[in-house]
Amino acid sequence: MSALPLIAVVGPTASGKTALAVELALATNGEVVSADSMQIYRGMEIASAKPTKAEMRGVLHHMMGFLDPETPYSVAAYVRDAAACIREIASRGKTVIVAGGTGLYIDSLLTGTAFVETPSDPALRRSLEAQYDAEGGEALRKRLADVDAETAARLHANDKKRIVRALEVYLQTGTPPSRLSAESHNAPPPYRPVFLGLAFHDRAALYRRIDRRVDEMLRAGLLDEARAFFAGHAATAAQAIGYKELKPYLDGEVPLETAVDALKRATRRYAKRQLTWFRRNEAIHWIYPDACTPDAVLAQALAIIKAVNVCPDK
């Protein structure tokens, strides 16, 4: 079976991925599969920058808002569910457009670097989480590096969830997660993606867009959404950019301006990490929105897609 062609739109937060994905879907008879680890949850519409109905412009979007925030959800589960969406979309003769900024989702789905679906061990996981909290992230990341340098090199010391999961997989199977992943992907890759990346020559231009987005989120009701989310899903909210930075204000500990500044700084740091992640993918065709008009961004993207022929025959 030949690899399925598809389009992947990647890049940092606030770079214009959603708008470009929608334009491409309209131009190529496509549908969008989200690759965002926060947009999968219900009730996080504003904080996760989930596109509104107006922004979707009639384009079907998948892998959004289908999961309760308290439901555990692994990278392997995302790969499984997104793959099912992709097959269904392609079966209807539509172009598949994967769009998002969660690098691990993108890589796991499209380049075959997912952790395999190893059953979780809640007791072992709690033990590892306690060790992480007691010893620090760098200590556990180094412990992971001793048994799986490849996986450790991909993870930041602050990535508690994935460091713990990698160690859990190793301790359960006796095999490094990177080796398990490689062994599970010996078959020919199922997809033939063309990667379109959005970046900025002037990093300050991206940061200004981030600041504007945060201001727009606040006007749209982010404070009320955060307040409601903390009331029902405190554990998830405590990890989510857009909520955790606002908690000191909601608790009456700091002025709103201080919390908003913290949120903007955290989002800028997240964007920097996203860019660092995606820059490692040499297959990405980079487009720079700060160097051209939105129409030119779309024209460049369509030219790249045409050159590599990833759209189904109409």
Annotated binding site for substrate: 13-18
Three-class DSSP category at 38: coil
- Beta-bridge partners for 62: 33
Amino acid at 46: I
Pairing of strands 30-34, 95-100: parallel
Tokens standing for 5? 């062609």
Angle, vertex CA 197, rays to CA 192 and CA 202, nearest 5: 165
Binding residues for ATP: 11-18
The 10 Å Cβ neighbour count of residue 313 is: 5
Three-class DSSP category at 40: coil
State the helix-helix crossing angle for 203-220 and 256-279, rounded to 10 degrees: 130
Asked if residue 89 lies in contact with residue 31, where contact means CB atoms within 8 angstroms, the answer is: yes
Q: How far apart are CA 167 and CA 278, in angstroms?
A: 24
The 10 Å Cβ neighbour count of residue 66 is: 14
Binding residues: 11-18
Three-class DSSP category at 308: helix
